[in-house]
Structure 1
Amino acid sequence: MPKVLVSVDMEGISGVVHPTETNPDRYDYERGRALMTAEVNAVIAGVLDAEPSADVLVADAHGPFRNLLPEELDRRVRLIRGKPRPLGMLGGLDGDVDAVLFVGYHARAGAGPAVLAHTMSDAVLGVRLNGREVGEIGLNAALAGHHGAPVVFLSGDDVACAELLDLVPTTSTVAVKRALGQAAAETLHPVVARERLRQGAAAAIARRAEVAPLPVGRAVSLEVDLYSPATVDTATLIPGVERAAGARTVTFTGRDVAEAYGVVHLLVQLAQVKPG
């Protein structure tokens, strides 16, 4: 019985193009979370079409991690929601997970045109892992690889799909929209998107053995460009975090990807602290 983790973000959902649809405090958020729930249900159906006995965990991985509508979610899965929690967007990941799927993901900060592109938060201008520019896709794929799990599927806009394929060429993707800008896209009808997601997820699970976990070595080097110099000042209080040349970049060398991943999440939280 394979164990499958589905991590669900919102910016890469079909029809979603603007922060009013992804922010709980904005007027169109309820529509966004309904679309998000429907798309993950389509992916779940595809996974279980291919592997009816699969143990499926769904990690709500957008913003507050409380977006999916539990009462509307496929009853055959278990939902991980709320924050803070271990492993962030990949809550529920462990060494027993056989495959990871990214649903509704978006491209990294600086990519474009790409719909709602960013990395973790607007406080982060860029992240480099072992010298390679990565966003949430790369960070999460590396963390999955650290636990021995391949990322076999991603849905989002065309730029997000290309971002994962650059890292994992053998993976499967479904583009549910074509990016025209940061807040504009040519998008599939949601019903059509769900049909393609179900088919794509089933095919991805069926060929999961062909996809290897993303390899990342030990002693991982991390560089993070932060929007606020004040956040850099605070970040240097973290053991091992150092200021690089200039006002906005910090560096960290971790024992492994998991440690570096935790530092990125901590930096995002520190960015919310106002200077005294």
Structure 2
Amino acid sequence: MKVFLSVDLEGVSGIVHATETRPDGYDYARARALMTAEANAAIAGVLDAEPAAEVLVADAHGPFRNLLPEELDRRAHLVRGKPRPLGMLGGLEADTDAALFIGYHARAGSGPAVLAHTMSGDVLDVRVAGRSLGETGLNAAMAGHLGVPVVLLSGDDVACAELRDLVPSARTVAVKQALGQTATVAPHPEEAQERLRRAAREAVARRSEVAPLALPGPLDVEADLLNPTALDLAELVPGVTRTGGRTVAFTAADTAEAYRLVLLLVQLATIRPA
């Protein structure tokens, strides 16, 4: 059995501010330690349910170099570094039996939610077939395209609701309650980790109850970008057109094509004029 974990940072219990999530920021060392501890809790839960499982953990935040390799459960393998195919899902393959999203946050515009955004602060919204999707939705759809169900998400209560709206049979564990963009109520980290371990165990044990998220193509995709230069650059991509002051659009043959083009737009959105 193969299980894949995509681990982000903003949804980890105790994390409330963007400075904590950046390598040059205040308390980043503590944040990455908490991130690693929650990853380990999820790994332990997976292996409680399936002791022989092959567990692959993808560092899925920012530079993709946040999890502490020497502190990660030695029974798992770590995907680290960027750029890489499938971004936050780097290493996910079609023969994977279940995916877990750990430390995830809500999509841009869904507040009050802790550190809500979609891929980057330069992306205001992504709509697929008319539906606004954040990282949870985009990643769940890409996993679903490969036939892999997302059986668990941890994060704040808003992020959890986001997955349940898309995949009602999936399990969620809220490791903090959102009070605003940079404020939460959270249990002690060890309590959050214990809840996560139990939830991961239950989610993997009941993985057959969760169907992969399917978005049949072709798919009409729109992205609202903050940086005007990004819109100029996006128009250079074949098939992408500007449809508004901040909006570009394209039609993708399937979810995989849509996902890769969104990842490209996210990178273009970070470019500033020379």
Same fold at TM > 0.5: yes
1:24 matched residue in structure 2: 23
Deviation, structure 1 residue 275: 2.2
Deviation string 1:67-96 (CA, Å, 9 cap, x unpaired) is: 000000000010001000001000111110
Distance in 2 (alpha carbons) for counterparts of 1:259 and 1:250:
16
Deviates more, 1:221-230 or 1:34-43: 221-230
2:252 matched residue in structure 1: 254
Aligned length: 274
Deviates more, 1:48-57 or 1:214-223: 214-223
Helix, strand or coil at the partner of 1:7: strand
Distance in 2 (alpha carbons) for counterparts of 1:144 and 1:64:
21
Deviation string 1:234-273 (CA, Å, 9 cap, x unpaired) is: 10000010111x2100001111111111111111111222
Matches within 5 A, 1:85-124: 85-124=84-123
Identity %: 69
Mark the runs of 5 or more structure 1 residues left unpaired by the alignment: none
Matches within 5 A, 1:35-114: 35-114=34-113
1:222 matched residue in structure 2: 221
Distance in 1 (alpha carbons) for counterparts of 2:114 and 2:270:
24
Deviation string 1:115-170 (CA, Å, 9 cap, x unpaired) is: 00000001100000111111000000000000000000000000000000000000
Note if contact 2:142-2:256 (Cα within 8 Å) is conserved in structure 1.
yes
Q: Could you list the runs of 4 or more consecutive aligned residues of structure 1 that deviate by over 4 angstroms after TM superposition?
A: none
TM-score calculated relative to the size of structure 2: 0.99
Distance in 2 (alpha carbons) for counterparts of 1:45 and 1:274:
43
1:15 matched residue in structure 2: 14
Distance in 2 (alpha carbons) for counterparts of 1:90 and 1:271:
20
1:133 matched residue in structure 2: 132
Matches within 5 A, 1:90-239: 90-239=89-238
Deviation string 1:10-47 (CA, Å, 9 cap, x unpaired) is: 00000000012101111211110000000010000000
Mark the runs of 5 or more structure 2 residues left unpaired by the alignment: none
Amino acid at match of 2:249: T
Deviation, structure 1 residue 232: 0.6
Distance in 2 (alpha carbons) for counterparts of 1:72 and 1:210:
32
Helix, strand or coil at the partner of 1:5: strand
TM-score calculated relative to the size of structure 1: 0.98
Superposition RMSD in Å:
0.7
Helix, strand or coil at the partner of 2:165: helix
Note if contact 2:229-2:271 (Cα within 8 Å) is conserved in structure 1.
no
Deviation string 1:41-77 (CA, Å, 9 cap, x unpaired) is: 0000000000001010000000000000000000001
Amino acid at match of 1:253: T
Amino acid at match of 2:240: V
Note if contact 2:155-2:174 (Cα within 8 Å) is conserved in structure 1.
yes
1:266 matched residue in structure 2: 264
Amino acid at match of 1:213: P
